[in-house]
Amino acid sequence: MRVTTFTDEANRTAVHVAPSPAWEPFDEYDGKPLEGVRLMVVERLTLGEIQLVEIAAGGHFAMHASSDVAFCQVVRGQGKLGLPDGTEVAYQAPELYVFHPGALHDWHDVEQTTLLSVCLVRSG
C-alpha cells in the first residue's frame, strides 16, 4: 500500500510518498506474544498515533485493550474478532470498529491476511 503524506512547508503543500510501508515486526504487545503481525507507524502526534497493522493469514493478535480510543478500519482481510467472554465477531473488509479505552478484544482465526488502518486518539 502506497502511503502519501501531505504537509505544510512554508505555506506550500508538500507531498511525501512512501511506495511501500516500512514494516516492522510486531512480536509482542503488553507482554503477550503475537503471531504473524507487523506494524508501520505512519504518524506520531501529540494527541494520538496513526498506524498500519497487518496480521498474516493464520496469525493472531493477543487479547488486549488500549488506554486510547482506537478508530480501526479493516482495509482488507477476513477472520474473527474475539471478546473476553468468548464471543466471536466475524469480520470481512471493509469494516470499521471503534474501541473505547479498556475494551478488550483479540484478532484470531485470520483466514485472509488482514490490513488494519488504526488511529489512536488520546482520551481525557
**Nearest alpha carbon to residue 73 among 100, 97, 101, 53:** 97
pLDDT of 8 reads 95
User: What pTM does this model have?
Assistant: 0.93
Annotated domain spans of the chain = 23-121
pLDDT of residue 123: 81
Nearest CA to 55 among 32, 26, 89? 26
Pairwise CA distance, residues 76 & 124, whole Å: 31
pLDDT in tens, 34-57: 999 999 999 999 999 999 999 999
CATH number given to 23-121: 2.60.120.10
